[in-house]
């Protein structure tokens, strides 16, 4: 019933509305997980994935509409990146606003409920990135309430840039393939990234609710352009798969789709490089 309350066509024409939809979806996902699974000794261990699963279920109708709509428009356009952007920008902005709604709501409720089990898998992911040699100790620290600030490991900037870029390229490729195979299924990657950022915000702010704006700014400086590349990859994979099914390989319209998919992927890679540079060299200037 909930998904029928939102008209995807109207949402795409007013992308900012998706921010509030994202807040509703993410809030319900966390609260339902807390309500129904926090008392289960087995399922509580998988709370982080259950939260993402709820969020994906809520978002699938919108993602399905977006993929189908963008593919139809892609069959008739060409003329380079500016023309392609003019056609797809509403969809990209709608996904960005949806993602921002996810991050804000996940961060808020994670800090309000103060229950590390809700995003346990995400905290482990955070630790594997920031303390790769001490993952178990890091997880234990942030799962027991002894929040003393984020831990890290010393690496030179070049190595860190290469590591971040490689990891993000891997996620982008996975998003592309996942979207190609499953169409709207790429929403899983986007919801997962939103919960990981929320767990990082919790760690960065020492679980202080008043510091949420600072924590969000800390990760959105490079996180927003980074996640935009995943949206572009999701759109590229989705329209490629849908275009192949609708038109076949030899159809002239499908050649337009291929051309536009290549442009979207190249744009995504360029933005991803910029995002990695920002994460390594710009963000530390403000937050250390």
pLDDT, tens digit (0-9, with 9 covering 90-100), for 153-203: 445 678 778 888 888 898 889 888 888 877 666 788 889 889 988 888 888
Residue 52 has a pLDDT of 92
Low-confidence ranges of the chain (pLDDT < 70): 1-14, 70-84, 87, 129-139, 141-156, 183-185, 246-253, 288
Backbone dihedral region of 114: left (phi > 0), alpha (psi from -120 to 50 degrees) or beta? left
The closest alpha carbon to 92, from 6, 16, 5, belongs to: 16
Q: Domain ranges for the chain, please list them.
A: 16-287
Q: Are 180 and 235 in contact (CB under 8 A)?
A: no
| Predicted confidence (pLDDT) per residue in 91-113, tens digit | 788 888 889 999 999 999 988 88
Written as six digits, the tokens of 28 are: 């319900």
Residue 14's alpha-carbon distances to 9, 38, 74, 98, in angstroms, are 9, 36, 20, 12
As a whole number of angstroms, the distance between CA 27 and CA 180 comes to: 29
Q: Is the pTM of this model over 0.85?
A: no
Residue 154 has a pLDDT of 46
Residue 271 has a pLDDT of 92
As a whole number of angstroms, the distance between CA 180 and CA 133 comes to: 35
As a whole number of angstroms, the distance between CA 190 and CA 269 comes to: 17
Residue 270 has a pLDDT of 93
């Amino acid at each position: 019933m909930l998904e029928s309350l939102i008209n995807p066509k109207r949402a795409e024409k007013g992308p900012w509305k998706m921010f509030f939809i994202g807040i509703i979806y993410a809030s319900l996902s966390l609260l339902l997980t807390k309500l129904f699974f926090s008392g289960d000794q087995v399922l509580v261990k998988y709370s982080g994935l259950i939260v993402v699963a709820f969020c994906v279920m809520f978002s699938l109708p919108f993602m399905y509409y977006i993929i189908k709509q963008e593919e139809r428009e892609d069959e008739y356009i060409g003329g380079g990146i500016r023309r392609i952007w003019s056609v797809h920008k509403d969809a990209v902005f709608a996904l960005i606003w949806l993602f921002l709604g996810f991050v804000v709501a996940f961060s808020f409720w994670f800090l309000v409920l103060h229950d590390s089990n809700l995003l346990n898998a995400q905290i482990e992911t955070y630790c594997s990135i920031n303390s790769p040699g001490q993952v178990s100790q890091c997880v234990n620290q942030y799962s027991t309430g002894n929040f003393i600030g984020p831990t890290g490991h010393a690496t030179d900037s070049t190595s860190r840039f290469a590591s971040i870029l490689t990891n993000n390229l891997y996620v982008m490729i996975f998003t592309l393939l996942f979207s190609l195979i499953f169409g709207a299924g790429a929403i899983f990657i986007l919801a997962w990234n939103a919960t990981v950022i929320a767990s990082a915000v919790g760690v960065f702010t020492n679980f202080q609710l008043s510091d949420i704006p600072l924590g969000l700014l800390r990760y959105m400086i490079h996180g927003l352009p980074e996640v935009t590349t995943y949206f572009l990859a999701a759109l590229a994979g989705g329209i490629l798969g849908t275009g192949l099914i609708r038109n076949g390989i030899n159809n002239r319209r499908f050649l337009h789709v291929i051309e536009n998919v290549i442009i979207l992927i190249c744009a995504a890679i360029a933005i991803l490089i910029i995002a990695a540079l920002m994460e390594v060299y710009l963000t530390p200037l403000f937050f250390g």
